[in-house]
Structure 1
């Protein structure tokens, strides 16, 4: 049921959040009013070199000092503040906060050898062990804004129209296996990776055990959280291209692989044998974003809809063509990708 939409401007020309709000709200029938959210890239140019750590606090006075202590142990807080929120008909359950953070790489040690590794471990530690604090966004020059509510309510809560980004993701949730709550709303994020998802990952147990064997902690018990961590592992840690990562997560069936030309057959066999536990089963359509890329793909038999469109320098990916046309009415190049076929847009400037 969920509604998803993403747009990337390949020349990094920024757009405010008003159109993405309108597009997501046009898919209200795909949600239940229990969760919606937005991710935007390029919104913090004044802190572009810092990790923007977005946090939900249950109680700022009680929960913030412990998080500050952890951040200062591993680096420097450049700036912090409450994320501005406004009246939008949503009950305030948590207080959204943001820290702009620079890790101290001199403190890195095995297995944490990079600034990304330090931030990843901080996210895992806080979300699994700090009661009352949840890091829900941790990339550079980007941020996730989400809550339990309808798309237009969540947009109005954060005044999404006041943010300007060159890449946007948005999601309208219809919870099935987990309750609707602020942390369970999409997008899910780790570092620069953000994920929105329509459907269900029925291989969640296998995928979760696999990703946790690499040091990731799945503290929110949702399949979309696992997708974000799998993408981080395959692309950032293992060095796969986005196209190969999608091929590992949603691979062809064995009989299709057997019919491929030799080189392609051997590559796909190697991916399936190496990343078998990462293979995702179930009906799904997924959009993944990072600082310079937007990727969309579905399960291997396309049990959830996905539509793409291009106009000038912008690529759109959504559950519905009508939502894309809310942003760009003049769009003409619209298509529906095949099952498991990734659609990839990259910045060129």
Structure 2
């Protein structure tokens, strides 16, 4: 039922949040008021080299000191402040806060540890051991803004139109197997990866056990979280291209592989055998963003809708054609990608 929308400007021209807000509101029937969110890239140019950590605090006075101590033990906080919020008819269960942060790799316990590795470890540690603190966004020059509410309410809560980015993701949630709560709202994020998802990952248990064997920890109580971690593992850690990573997550059926040319058979068999526990079953349509890429894909038989279209330098991916046309009425061709085949847009400037 969920509604998803993503747009990337390939030349990094900035778009404010007003149109993505209106677009997501077109899909209100795809949600139930229990979760909505937005992710935008390019919004923090003054701190573009620092990790922007967005945090939910249950109680700032009680919970913030322990988090500050944890962060400062592994790096430097350049600036922190409450994320501005406004009256929007949303019950303020948590206080959103942001830290601009750089880890010190010389303090890492393992050799060849990167800054990304350290931030990933900090996110996992904080979200599993710091009661009352939840890091829900941790990329550079980007941020996630989410809460329990309708798309318009969440947009108004954060004044999303005040932010300008060259890439946007948005999601309207219809919780099914888990309760609606702020942390369970999409997008889900780790480092520069952000994910929005419509559907159900029925292989979640297998996927969770697999990803946690690599040190990731699932704490958000929803199946979509595991997708962000799988993409991070396959692309950043294992070095696969985005296209190969999607082929591992949503591979062809064995009988389809049997009909492929020999070299293509070899590649697809190797992916299925190597990444069997990462294979995602169930009905799903997913959009993934990183600092220079927007991509979308569906399950292997396309049980959830996904459409895409281009206009000028911009690529649009969504659950609904109407949502794309709400942003860009002049778009001429909106098409439906084949099951399991990715739609990919990259920045060119």
Q: Partners of 1:227 and 1:110 in 2: how far apart?
A: 26
2:322 corresponds to: 322
Q: Partners of 2:139 and 2:62 in 1: how far apart?
A: 25
1:343 corresponds to: 343
2:35 corresponds to: 35
1:65 corresponds to: 65
- What do residues 167-188 of structure 1 show as CA deviations (whole Å, max 9, x unaligned)? 0000000000110011100000
Moved runs in structure 1, 4+ residues, more than 4 A? none
Query: Does the CA-based 8 Å contact 2:308-2:316 persist in structure 1?
Result: yes
2:208 corresponds to: 208
Aligned 1:149-160 pairs, distance under 5 A: 149-160=149-160
Q: Partners of 2:61 and 2:258 in 1: how far apart?
A: 60
| Aligned-partner SS, 1:223 | coil
- What do residues 54-75 of structure 1 show as CA deviations (whole Å, max 9, x unaligned)? 0000000000001000100110
2:16 corresponds to: 16
Q: Partners of 1:77 and 1:49 in 2: how far apart?
A: 12
1:192 corresponds to: 192
Q: TM-score, normalised by structure 1?
A: 0.99
Query: Does the CA-based 8 Å contact 1:54-1:143 persist in structure 2?
Result: yes
1:47 and 2:50 correspond = no
Aligned 1:127-206 pairs, distance under 5 A: 127-206=127-206
Q: Partners of 2:112 and 2:221 in 1: how far apart?
A: 25
Query: Does the CA-based 8 Å contact 2:103-2:118 persist in structure 1?
Result: yes
Q: 1:267 to 1:159 in 2, by over 3 A?
A: same
Aligned length: 349
| Aligned-partner SS, 1:118 | helix
2:7 corresponds to: 7
- What do residues 256-309 of structure 1 show as CA deviations (whole Å, max 9, x unaligned)? 001001111100000000000000000000000000000100000000000001
Q: Partners of 2:140 and 2:203 in 1: how far apart?
A: 31
Q: Partners of 1:82 and 1:93 in 2: how far apart?
A: 14
Q: Partners of 1:157 and 1:111 in 2: how far apart?
A: 43
Deviation of 1:333 after TM superposition, in Å, equals 2.2
- What do residues 143-192 of structure 1 show as CA deviations (whole Å, max 9, x unaligned)? 00000000000000000000000000000000001100111000000000
Q: 1:62 to 1:112 in 2, by over 3 A?
A: farther
Q: TM-score, normalised by structure 2?
A: 0.99
RMSD over equivalenced CA pairs, Å: 0.7
Q: Partners of 2:208 and 2:31 in 1: how far apart?
A: 26
Deviation of 1:107 after TM superposition, in Å, equals 1.0
Deviation of 1:105 after TM superposition, in Å, equals 1.3
2:25 corresponds to: 25
Q: Partners of 1:267 and 1:333 in 2: how far apart?
A: 33
Query: Does the CA-based 8 Å contact 1:56-1:136 persist in structure 2?
Result: yes
Query: Does the CA-based 8 Å contact 1:307-1:334 persist in structure 2?
Result: yes
Deviation of 1:219 after TM superposition, in Å, equals 1.4
Q: 1:111 to 1:26 in 2, by over 3 A?
A: farther
Query: Does the CA-based 8 Å contact 1:112-1:118 persist in structure 2?
Result: no
Q: Partners of 2:32 and 2:14 in 1: how far apart?
A: 30
Query: Does the CA-based 8 Å contact 1:30-1:174 persist in structure 2?
Result: yes
1:273 and 2:273 correspond = yes
- What do residues 28-49 of structure 1 show as CA deviations (whole Å, max 9, x unaligned)? 0000000000000000000000
- What do residues 53-110 of structure 1 show as CA deviations (whole Å, max 9, x unaligned)? 0000000000000100010011000000000000101010000000000111111232
Deviation of 1:111 after TM superposition, in Å, equals 6.9
